[in-house]
Amino acid sequence: MILTCPSCSTRYQSDSSRFMPPGRNVRCAKCQHVWFQAAPEPEPTIELPSSFPEPEPAPVPEANIPQAPAAPSLELAAPVAPAAMQPRSRRRRRSGSNAAQAVGWAALVLLAVSTGWASVQFRQPIVDIWPQSASLYGALGMPVTVRGITLSNIGYQQEVEDGQPVLAVTGKLVNVSDRELPVPVIRIVLTDDAKREIYHWTFDAGIPSLKPGAESSFVTRLASPPPEARNLNIRFAEAGEPR
């Protein structure tokens, strides 16, 4: 029987006895295409006569008769189950999933970088809207003026009143903005040698607001300060912070 590859049309000569019903898979030796070849239809049974006349010999021409080229060999392939295609499909789905994850991570990194850049470049407006962020910027080495008012000329000294030690802290408030601003509450923190907080207090500077470019001095006193206090930190109190 003659088989024809449905992919590249290469023809093969094969023994029909190798194709038992219902058929089998074969692979093209040229393009490696695999297809299912059905078994040939059984030949009808023909009753032969009891005797045949002897055929007359056919004349043989003197010219050389070219021989037909031998048909290429056909490679019989093992049955290909549908499940054999599943690993390739799974690899394709996995490859698409990995690409989607890579795009998602790239977008997330870009968003984080953009947010960080904006937080640094626009830190003053952010602090104006959210004063609590001033301490975070200060911890990162990027001090920001809170509400346009600065603390300057900070000083302290030990005094004695009525036989008790008193810590006096002085300083100045300056409005460096171009508009009148309310004066926030001031917070003072005392820490020990290890920078651990051991005491704090807050106080009102005594003035409700400062006009643009205006300044005002303040003083606050703490009676009987902790003897282990070694450092003093002064800043504006944050909203919701315990006093």
CATH number of 148-236: 2.70.50.60
78 or 213, greater pLDDT: 213
Can you tell me the distance from the alpha carbon of 135 to that of 156, in angstroms, rounded to the nearest whole number? 22
Peptide bond into 82 cis (omega under 30): no
pLDDT over 50 (residue 186):
yes
pLDDT in tens, 211-234: 999 999 999 999 999 999 999 999
Candidate ranges 73-77, 129-133, 177-181, 193-197; pick with highest mean pLDDT:
193-197
What Cα–Cα distance (Å) separates residue 11 from each residue in 3, 24, 25, 30? 6, 17, 16, 10
pLDDT in tens, 143-161: 565 568 999 999 999 999 8
238 or 50, greater pLDDT: 238
pLDDT over 60 (residue 241):
yes
pLDDT at residue 215 in the model? 95
pLDDT in tens, 100-139: 888 888 888 888 888 877 777 777 677 666 655 666 776 6
Looking up tokens 């601003």, which residue turns up? 181
pLDDT at residue 40 in the model? 79
**Cα within 13 Å of Cα(212), Cβ side:** 3
Q: What are the domain boundaries of the chain?
A: 1-39+69-80, 85-120, 148-236
